[in-house]
Structure formats: structure tokens, C-alpha cells
A and B are shown apart, each in its own frame.
Chain A
Amino acid sequence: MSEQRIDHEPVVFGLATSAATSTRDLVLIRKLIVAPESSFIKTPSHGAKWTGTFNIELLNRCVEDSTGLVILHRHSGRNVGLSDDDRRSATTLIPYFQSAVPQRFHGSIVLGDDSAAGMVWSPNRRYPTESIEVRLLENQIHTYTQSPVEQDFRQFRQIPLVHGAVAKSLLANTRIGIVGLSGGGSQLATQLAALGFGGIVVVDPQRFDSDNRLSTDAPRAFDLALRAFKTSVVKRQVLTINPKCSFRALRSNIPSEDVLAALRDVDILIGCVNSLCARADMLEIAGRYGIPYVDVGFNVGVDEEIETGPQITSLSGNVFTIVPGDACMWCTGFLTKRKLENEAGGQDRSYIRLKRAKKSSREAAMVVPFNGLLASSAVTEVLQLVVGFSPKRDASLYRKYDGFSGEVHNWELTRNPSCLHCGSVVHAGDPIWS
């Protein structure tokens, strides 16, 4: 089959929801519509023009789905800008979509090699803003800004791990959320600080004490003696390594209100929790607001029933990277309704607390090195998302660790086309209430 020649600028149409955070507004593209060639009108210039009929189709879709319209096209090269034609077209067309769906953002954006420019109209605002940043979520977060870093660009493209100007800028402008500071969470926070990540938000209500000292290398002896909050200990470590890091601590549980508000603002979310219900809540937040989520888990299986005494039956861990739009925990069966119900003991899942279980051999296990290995693996996942050092890997990835053999395997993931989370929650943004 031969490729059809296109005589106009390629353009796609995004149906977008939106959400507000404390620092920015998010416009989340849920669907991309590629117009059939029959919708385009031949013009002498290379710019794209499409029929009024197609405009009406788009308008109807936006109204039905309560979404905004974002027109996306591409110019080659760096430091791109909207042409006069682009501006004229946007200022003529967008007001119609604004009046049809006034509660959503609408706009027109041009993408270059690593830059973006555009006009975006906020709900009920007459004039657009041109202060935008565009992110594309694949096996790496591709960030398109208005002023891309010039220095070291070529070097970064060839060797993404080199700590040059581009990588430093990307890391310094990335905020990471870490929920759970017990085993893996506290260990990965220091690695992220060492790499130069600009913002770290940590969530954990607990204190270090003799019961949890064997899961991490974070606390000093006086931290244990004073039963210091985990957030305080990690803050001290992070700011000692990187005083420029913006650090925020929340001594709350997920899904409390302050935690939800803070996590909306992060660029990557890492979960180091010990319940499936907490994972389900974090996946909901991450999916809804378009945030890649890295889940870290480690479990020591102990058989307490053996006559000769408790025995370790398994040492298993995982690092699960979920990029919104690719396979998720629900697609893969990592999370199921039945598992959540079992964990909640037949009650509504909201009753799950981080209860202290009856003391068992599991809690006395020396798991620092296993947590450290998983923490480092999670940090490599974060690094991959930001600088993309491994171009050939999949977006979502499940990495399984066997503590007995020391082996780590990547398991292949397949997105489930009927997954409710992927179909309805991902990029849902804030709903419109009326």
C-alpha cells in the first residue's frame, strides 16, 4: 500500500479535559482525532484548512464529552512560533468552541523539535495566554517549552545520561512525590536529591522506632531514640545532599485532602506503600491528572505454621512503572476488585488503615539491602522518564525481583482495551459540576 501524499500541514485535534493545581493549570488531552483527508480544503499555501462540516463535528464531540479543543500541528526546527495564519485561524475558530464548552480550556499549539508555542484560552477568558509547556508521555516524558536549553543539546541527544546543561535543567524542573518512607521510600529520596531533582514532596505520618529500623538505612541512633518523624529524617538527608532542593513534607495518610492537593502538582509519583488500597488511590490520582506512577513493593513471605518454627518462603519485590495511556495495574490484574475487597476484609475499602498487624517474624526481617535494590531500580525508572536514556523500552514496565536468586526480570505488559481505569479515569481531570 503506498503512502498518501498530504498537501497541507499535518494537524491533529485533541479533546481535552482540565484540572487546576496550586501552581498551574493542566490541559489533559484524552483523545486525538485525525481528520479524514476529505475534510481538508485545498489552498495555495501549505497551511491546513478544513471544512465547516468538520468543525461542527468537532464542536458536537466537545459538547458531548464536555471537553475542550486543542489544535496541534508541527513545525520543524527548534524555537518554533505560531505563524500569522495560525493566530488568525485560532482567534477565529476558538471562540465558537469556548461558547459551546465554556468550562474547559481551548487552544492552538505548534510543536517543534523540542519547543512549543501556542495560544490557550482559559475558561471564560476572552484573551489567550501564550505561557505554555507541552508534555508528551511515552517511555520518556518529552517536555516542549518555549525556551529550550540551547547548550549541550546535541550532546544530550547522543548521551542522555551526561550531566550537562540540558539534563540539569530537566532534573531541576522536575518535582517528585514519594508516598511512604519506610523501606524503599527513604532510600530513593536521597538518590533523587543527589541527582539534582528540583522538588521532592514526601508523605508519611509515621515515626522511626525500633519496630521499623531494619527496613531502611535512613535513621540515626538518636532518630530512633527520639522517635523522629520519618519526614524529618528524610528532609535532613535530602537538604544535606542538595540544599537547593525544594522539599515539602506531609505527615498525613493517603487519601487525605492535603495529600491529594500536593500530589496533583508533582511530575512523577512514586508509591512505597504496603496496601493495595493505597496503591489504587494513588493510581487514580496519577491517571486522572496525567502523572507517571512508579510503584515499589517488597514482601517477605513467612510461614508461621511450620512446626519447627517460622520460615521464609518468599522474598519478592517489584518496580511497576505506569505511564498514563499504557498498561496499568488494573489492566494487568495487579489490582482487582476482589483483591481490594479481600484486603478490606469484606468491608468498604475506605476502612483500610495502616494497622499494626500482630507482631510477627516478618517485621524483624533485615530487608535494608532488598529495599535498597528496589529503591535504586525505581530511581532508574524516574531517570528514564526524565532523560530517556533507554530509547527502545516500553512506556509501562513491570520489573519483578526474586530476593532468593537475586534475579530481576522485566515482564511483558499488555494494555486491556476494556480497562475501566484506562478508558475512564486516565486524563479525566476535574469534572465539570452543574
Chain B
Amino acid sequence: MQPHTVERLDAELRHAYVGATSTSDTGRRLIKLPAVHFPAGCRPDTARALVVIDPASNMPELYLSDVPVLPSGIKPSTGQVVIAGETWNTYSFALRNWEADKNTGEQFVQGKLRRFSLAA
């Protein structure tokens, strides 16, 4: 991913999510979002999120402070990682039709959160 793309995505996310902060750590750009909203019926209904942009990768990664239970009562399979000294949760959902050069940071986040619209 080109440096100007990283900057653009950072700026877009900070514009779209009020209160977002970012930092650079171990060569990656980290953008912390104070709140992302899950589909109706999910518990909890919001969580903090972390977008990690690695210049060596074409796709950012999204991590959550909490992974919600779906309206069906099912909790998606999750894992935990350490990023910049903090614990974050991850879940499996392959985002298609998102490209760094064509799409926005907000589209990336909303695309990844579509996982929680699925029934299971």
C-alpha cells in the first residue's frame, strides 16, 4: 500500500468517526475508533475498534474491543492478539470487493462489520 493511500485512509477514518486517534507503531498505522455500531439486536451494540494499516499488505485489519453476540444468540468464533501493548479481539470474515485505491476507510470498516448481520 502506498504511503499516500495510508494517509488518505487515516484521514477518512478520522473524519468519519468523531474522536478517532491514530499513531504509528512498528511500521504500521493504527487508528483507534471510539465507537462502531453493530446491527440491531447484537449485544453489546457498540464497541471500540482498531484499524491496522500495514504498508506491506493490500488490506487493513479490523480489531474490536468486544465481539458481539448475534441476535440469534450465537457468538462468532474469536481470537485475541496483542497490538501495541493492548489486547484486541479478532474474528473471521473475508471482505470482498474492497480495494485500497478505490474504496474508503469507512467502507472498509462497514464492510467488515457486515459479518454481524449474518445469521450465524
Q: A: which residues have CB within 8 A of B?
A: 19, 253, 255-257, 260, 264, 281, 284-285, 288-289, 347-353, 420, 424-425, 428-434
Contact = CB atoms under 8 A, between A and B. Distances in A.
B22 A260 contact: no
A431 B80 contact: no
| A-B pairs with lowest CB-CB distance, top 8 | A350-B79, A433-B21, A424-B26, A431-B23, A351-B79, A255-B82, A350-B81, A350-B90
Contacts of A433: 21-23, 32
B27 interface: yes
B30 interface: yes
Chain B binding surface, main DSSP class: strand
Contacts of A425: 26
Given A257-B87, A260-B82, A429-B85, 20 more contacts: A255-B80, A255-B82, A260-B86, A260-B87, A284-B82, A285-B82, A289-B85, A348-B81, A348-B90, A349-B81, A350-B90, A351-B90, A353-B79, A420-B27, A428-B25, A428-B84, A428-B85, A431-B23, A431-B84, A433-B22
Interface string B23-44: 1111100101000000000000
Question: Which of A353, A428, A431 gathers the greatest number of chain B CB atoms within 10 Å?
Answer: A431
A428 to B, nearest CB: 7
Nearest to B32: A433
A302 B77 CA distance: 31
19 contacts: A19-B85, A255-B87, A257-B87, A284-B82, A285-B82, A285-B85, A348-B90, A350-B80, A350-B89, A350-B90, A352-B79, A424-B26, A424-B27, A428-B26, A428-B84, A430-B84, A430-B85, A433-B22, A433-B23
Give the interface residue-count category, chain B. 20 to 34
A285 B83 CA distance: 10
Question: Which of B23, B30, B78 gathers the greatest number of chain A CB atoms within 10 Å?
Answer: B23
B57 interface: no
B85 A288 contact: yes
Contacts of B25: 424, 428, 431
Interface in B72-105: 77-82, 84-87, 89-90, 92
B92 A348 contact: yes
A430 B25 CA distance: 9
Nearest to A421: B26
A432 B87 contact: no
A284 B85 CA distance: 8
Nearest to B89: A350
